[in-house]
Amino acid sequence: MEELINQAARILYNSKMTLALTGAGISVESGIPDFRSADGLWSRYDPAEYASIISFRQNPEKVWNMLREMDDLVANVEPNKAHIGLGELEKMGFLQYIITQNIDNLHQAGGSKNVIEYHGNSNTLSCLWCGKRYSAKEKRGEFTPRCECSKVLKPDVVFFGEAIPPEALNRSFQLAASAQALLIVGTSAVVSPANTIPSIAKNAGAKIIEVNKEKTHLTKTITDVFLMGGAGEIVSNLVDAVKKMAGGHNS
Ligand code: NAD
Ligand code: ZN
């Protein structure tokens, strides 16, 4: 494993344009379950049903049973070693942008500044009917938050069946096409169109590093260095190895 970590660190050290692509797996150690975890939120709420815009439009009160639990979770979590490690890489100049599929704000809390939120953010709620926007915090007391026009509000996260925010979509494709290295952490890379980013980067000549607890469909096809394990430990080992190469100290 140490040799693989060094190999990955060398890629980051030599790249002038490094992107990270993160998914639910990077936040699992903070206490937010991913879609595949055996227990937790998603064993009670099928994401295909509860995270779909059709379901929300048909029965927003029902979907809010899940959203309320998700919101309680997200309101009470802290960034873990993986978020903090990516924040450090950015500060040291070894990571230019993070494209995250997560909506939990943990990258920003972990010190990252250049974060592209591919699937939106749970900090705000919008009315699908009149367009008015509210802060999620101000609506936390209401079990089913409503707009002043009386309709049920929806968090500004991308549901299945909704479009990716155009700016995030375009910027991500642009960045992927000019990346020299792509660090993928904690995603099964099956949700479209985020799952096209790795192959765009690969075709542009980027080296692909993948961190995951288990192999994915990317591992055999496009990954150059696969680092198997928990995101917190692997990312912090990787950051330490990059620091050593950069001649810094390991504090
Ligand atoms: P996914 O659930 O499909 O896949 C998660 C991946 O992370 C899996 O490959 C799993 O093996 C890996 N993983 C789990 N724990 C890990 C750990 N400790 N260290 C390293 N890897 C670990 O998630 P996805 O690919 O992100 O796609 C699901 C969609 O749902 C995305 O849009 C995602 O952002 C969203 N979602 C977001 C959150 C959040 O904001 N935290 C939580 C659940 C789902
Ligand atoms: Zn309204």
User: What are 26-80's pLDDT values in tens digits?
Assistant: 999 999 998 876 667 788 899 889 999 999 999 999 999 999 988 888 889 999 9
The reply to whether the predicted model has a pTM over 0.85 is yes
37 neighbors 203 (Cβ within 8 angstroms): no
The Cα 78–Cα 95 span in angstroms is: 21
Is 119 a catalytic site residue? Answer: yes
Q: Whole-number mean pLDDT of the chain?
A: 94
Q: Which atom from ligand 1 is nearest to the alpha carbon of 188?
A: 9
The 10s digit of each residue's pLDDT in 145-157 is 999 999 999 999 9
Q: What's the pLDDT at 1?
A: 87
Q: How far is the CA of 122 from the centre of ligand 2 (A)?
A: 18
| Whether the CB of 105 sits within 6 Å of ligand 1 | no
Q: Which atom from ligand 1 is nearest to the alpha carbon of 104?
A: 40
Pure H helices in the chain: 2-14, 41-44, 47-50, 53-58, 60-75, 81-92, 106-109, 166-178, 197-203, 217-221, 231-245
Judged on CB neighbours under 10 Å (0-12, 13-18, 19+), 2 is exposed
Q: For residue 26, which ligand has an atom nearest its CA?
A: 1
Helix (H) or strand (E) holding 229: none
Cα dihedral: 226, 86, 187, 77 (round 10): 140
Place of tokens 């960034």: 79
Tell me the average confidence (pLDDT) per consecutive run of 10 residues in the chain, 251 residues long: 96 98 97 80 87 95 93 92 98 98 96 97 94 94 94 96 95 98 96 93 98 97 98 98 82 44
| Whether the CB of 216 sits within 6 Å of ligand 1 | yes
